Structure 1
């Protein structure tokens, strides 16, 4: 890293750390240790939902730290992977962790070769080890996983593990391979480029399609358009079909996302037309 080029960093100096910690409900001393990383990641995952509403509402995704704070911290909104990862990287950098951005190819059990359109982090703690933090996938990894073949975590009974494959590393949620990634470093400016493609390309799954996800200790919620699925840790799930006009209330009550009157009307119109 060049000490003179801010493009290599995550701009943690621009972060309102107190406001972020209040948003996720964390207090106290936060040394750059594995214990702190576990506390922060779980709190972030439980407090800030995954969502792509800006794309659906016809607005760009902005990855500046100030923009992310305004949306995800002060406005209590969520974001998708590039937003979560960029914000979390700024937090960790500010606290003294070593932070490296990574990119992944989403698999979801398909085995197909897909472009690297997902972001995650490799984090170094002062008390040892490198750790994978995937705060922006939406499937709810609740704590870091050590970067080691076969390493895993079962926090709140949500099971994740890493395996080293032929072309890199694979992250599993239970038996499902979520994505594969390499350890080639990515930087904030790379995420700006990736974000533009994912948020604008007509074949992107995030364009023209509402997606919101959140995790709780005992249940995951996933909203896909007007379909709400609730999945419990024992694998049972329930699916509810919503009317377009019911979606804003579900966003508020389930995901903690409150839209103003104008955005509510726009969202309902988009869903009704879809």
Structure 2
């Protein structure tokens, strides 16, 4: 196997039941490694599979092997956070024939706080052009690929995204808000591999300073409205910039996760999350 072939097969695409994955996201289009397919598959993925940290909140181990991801996100129709989402998407894209590389980013949505490199995203090469592909940034993320070119701007159902360049080859993904453009995250042109996603996953799922521990998080980047549930706060933002916020009590939690985020829980999970949620409020 050549180095190029090894790189193309690093994400375990050969282990993925591609038919089952595409059925899960509701995609029935072409399976060719072109830009149209890349756009359609990412949009279908983020529309169908919610961002959530519920297994972390329950104290469970987060497995990133393709078989475990297929069982959880495809067969059980659950969601996951960035490492799960983008590893599964990478396996599917690799299986279709795309060239996929990982990147690690610093979240910049928390003001001036210097965050560690804990966000996982993908860079996909199509006809010698690189595209930022990310199904795992929750309600603030893009619906489709964004050109990985400094100064690029895209409009996705009224939501604006762009890429800027900084020193040392760092790229910044930005989003347009009513008050102007704001940074989402920044990442260097250093290729990461599944083993690197495992390391970041370990920090995010177990380190005492991880924002995913001890609280319920569920998010969806919808076309018309984007929603985020963090602890007991539910926020909805529409494309026109209007915003709603309300509290979700323990008696509403399971129905909210199902009705607004499409997260199906078994009885044990529901009971465990109610205990976590009740401790939050």
- Structure 2 equivalent of residue 9 of structure 1: 10
Q: Taking structure 1 as reference, are residues 42 and 136 closer, same or farther at Cα in structure 2, changes over 3 Å only?
A: same
8 Å CA contact retained: 1:17, 1:91: yes
Number of residue pairs the alignment of both structures matches:
273
- Structure 2 equivalent of residue 130 of structure 1: 130
Give the Cα separation in 2 of the matches to 1:203 and 1:245: 28
* TM superposition score normalised by structure 1: 0.95
Give the Cα separation in 2 of the matches to 1:199 and 1:264: 19
**Runs of at least 4 residues off by over 3 Å:** 1-8
- Structure 2 equivalent of residue 151 of structure 1: 152
Q: How far apart are 1:28 and its partner, in Å?
A: 3.1
Give the Cα separation in 1 of the matches to 2:91 and 2:259: 29
Give the Cα separation in 2 of the matches to 1:25 and 1:8: 25
1:179 to 155, 177, 185: 185
Q: How far apart are 1:112 and its partner, in Å?
A: 3.4
8 Å CA contact retained: 1:2, 1:8: no
- Which runs of no fewer than 5 residues in structure 2 stay unpaired? none
- Structure 2 equivalent of residue 213 of structure 1: 219
Secondary structure of the 1:35 match is helix
CA RMSD after TM alignment: 1.7
Q: Taking structure 1 as reference, are residues 133 and 155 closer, same or farther at Cα in structure 2, changes over 3 Å only?
A: same
2:197 to 191, 194, 218: 191
- Structure 2 equivalent of residue 114 of structure 1: 115
Q: Deviations over 1:196-249 (max 9, x none)?
A: 011101111001111110022100010011111110011111111111121110
Give the Cα separation in 2 of the matches to 1:187 and 1:65: 14
Q: Deviations over 1:166-198 (max 9, x none)?
A: 240110111120100011000001111110011
Matches within 5 A, 1:59-78: 59-78=60-79
Give the Cα separation in 2 of the matches to 1:7 and 1:111: 37
Give the Cα separation in 1 of the matches to 2:174 and 2:5: 38
- Structure 1 equivalent of residue 263 of structure 2: 257
Give the Cα separation in 2 of the matches to 1:10 and 1:118: 17
Give the Cα separation in 2 of the matches to 1:39 and 1:8: 22
Deviates more, 1:260-269 or 1:60-69: 260-269
Secondary structure of the 2:106 match is strand
- Structure 1 equivalent of residue 51 of structure 2: 50
- Structure 2 equivalent of residue 82 of structure 1: 83
Give the Cα separation in 2 of the matches to 1:179 and 1:76: 28
8 Å CA contact retained: 1:172, 1:178: yes
Deviates more, 1:138-147 or 1:64-73: 138-147
Secondary structure of the 1:265 match is helix
8 Å CA contact retained: 1:109, 1:177: no
* TM superposition score normalised by structure 2: 0.93
Give the Cα separation in 2 of the matches to 1:163 and 1:249: 40
Q: Taking structure 1 as reference, are residues 3 and 234 closer, same or farther at Cα in structure 2, changes over 3 Å only?
A: closer
